[in-house]
Amino acid sequence: MTPGRVDAPGGIFCVAPGVAVTLKRASLVKILAVEDDAVARAILMKALLRLGHEVVLAPDGEAAWAAVQEDPVRVVVSDWIMPGIDGLELCRRIRARTGFEYVYFILLTARDASPENQNAAADAGVDDFLTKPLDVSELWTRLRVAERILRYTTQVRQLEELLPICSYCKKIRDDQNYWQQIEGYISERTGSDFSHSVCPDCYSRVVLPELEKLRASVPASSRPPHPVARTHPKA
């Protein structure tokens, strides 16, 4: 096999350094496969395609990081040792993002699963390990677990986005079944502070009618005079 070229359904794809390639077909999950060795990358790609997944190929960490930002994926299978951005640094960058769907990260490694290596991977946010040489049955098992966890995280996120709010007083119910004002609910979870004012629509629709009702209820003789604009003496 020519370095930088991998066999794939439909032909041979050239994988240049720093460039990610997407191989599309009817798929279960879109997976980013990151491997700097051309032969190992071809083996990983074939295994993922055989298992029914859409594959985004990246020949190094730099290309993988660019691919993640341009084309969101839910699973990453990445080699650990790579020049530049290695597998752990790639995982750290993915974990540091906010506002994105959770990404399940599987680390490929030929290293021993020593406590030190496991701690380093866990600290970086790695979800699972696969040892080299690649075992397709082990890969299948890990990906089945990934699919279940991603399904659960999606369900939890959807539930969290549904805020139970009272139709009358607009209070929100929290996880302890306690109803509180919306500003208190948001402040507890984000640390945000609120300042209160009245928008023009509410001022015209609510405040002015209330002021007129209040003024009409007070006898004319008891009404305070309209305020007189103050003038400041000239210096």
CATH of the domain at 138: 3.40.50.2300
The residues pairing with 56 across neighbouring beta strands, listed in sequence order, are: 22, 32
The answer to whether residues 51 and 151 belong to one domain is yes
The residues pairing with 58 across neighbouring beta strands, listed in sequence order, are: 34
pLDDT of residue 156: 67
The answer to whether residues 177 and 114 belong to one domain is no
Which amino acid does the sequence have at 183?
A: E
* Residue 223: both structure tokens together: 């009404």
Asked whether residue 229 is domain-assigned, the answer is no
Asked whether residue 220 is domain-assigned, the answer is no
- Among 146, 161, 176, which residue terminates a domain? 161
Question: Considering only 44-48, 143-147, 176-180, 200-204, which range has the smallest mean pLDDT?
Answer: 176-180
- What is the phi-psi region of residue 234: left when phi exceeds 0, alpha when psi lies from -120 to 50, beta otherwise? beta
Question: Considering only 64-68, 80-84, 212-216, 231-235, which range has the smallest mean pLDDT?
Answer: 231-235
The answer to whether residues 31 and 108 belong to one domain is yes
pLDDT, mean of residues 41-66? 92
- pLDDT > 80? residue 190: no
pLDDT of residue 14: 43
Number of other residues whose CB lies within 10 A of the CB of residue 43: 17
Query: The domain containing residue 167 runs over which residues?
Result: 163-215
Structural domain count, the chain:
2
The answer to whether residues 127 and 75 belong to one domain is yes
The answer to whether residues 178 and 87 belong to one domain is no
pLDDT of residue 197: 73
pTM of the full predicted structure?
Answer: 0.58
pLDDT, mean of residues 61-80? 92
Asked whether residue 224 is domain-assigned, the answer is no
pLDDT, mean of residues 139-154? 88
Query: Cα dist. 21→33, 105, 183, 204 in Å?
Result: 10, 19, 46, 58
The answer to whether residues 84 and 179 belong to one domain is no
